[in-house]
Structure 1
């Protein structure tokens, strides 16, 4: 793992509402091997998950896993054409969260690059809306 700067723009659009975006630039770690890329960072107060470690793993540019560990624990798996369910554990309660990948663009190499993805999300099998991430990674 090598040190990197990670710039994230996350956009959430709840059903029937205008999209809301949040931007974050943070230091993180990055590893690129043939068929496998992983990067991680520690969440800040700005995201409401201070201290939570968030990691993204890309396998063969087709499977993306978003994992959070800390006061919030979750693992979301994104594969085109598949719906994935997991528990989102926020300490006081756990919710069943379903995600379905809509778009995945992986432009990453050993120096960093860009990861774009969007997905539909539901909670307890009730549709909530869509989320989109644009992530830029560069060597620190």
Structure 2
């Protein structure tokens, strides 16, 4: 199950997604996200334990990227086809799941859009890295 996964590509993708998340929720859209969060939840985001929050975020990102790598390995996805496959995975699974936050939980549309935008970019980046760095069997 794990032998066909390029772990170097997984680690590179995880690092890139963490940097992307820092930029997306920091200098790029951090203020807009905080306002949308406050409008939806009724309080400011809890930043009291960033070490735990960030650690859980990294684990979550690792699971996401590993899952994509596993799917890519099972389907034989490589090259830029990884981007299309990742976008399909985002749309069919992530987009629909996150849409529930808007449909049933009453979160502000701009909060959901900011979060969905990050997730789409994350899937695009991970799909590109994993697709361009597929696992290759070594000749014996």
- For normalisation by structure 1, the TM-score amounts to 0.29
* Rg larger for: 2
Query: Which one has the bigger helix percentage?
Result: 2
Structure with greater contact order relative to length (CA < 8 Å, sep ≥ 6): 2
